[in-house]
Amino acid sequence: MREGSRMSRAGTQHLSSGP
């Protein structure tokens, strides 16, 4: 979850492969 790390701050930590 390399991309999920930067997305977790946006509140999308449950979406590892988000947009």
Residues of the chain with pLDDT under 70: 1-19
- Give me the residue label for tokens 């997305």: 7
Q: Is this structure's pTM higher than 0.75?
A: no
Give the pLDDT confidence score for residue 9 in this predicted structure: 61
What letter does residue 7 receive in the DSSP assignment? H
CA 16-7-3 angle, 5° bins = 55
Give the pLDDT confidence score for residue 7 in this predicted structure: 59
Give the pLDDT confidence score for residue 15 in this predicted structure: 56
Give the pLDDT confidence score for residue 16 in this predicted structure: 56
How far apart CA 19 and CA 2 sit, in angstroms, is 14
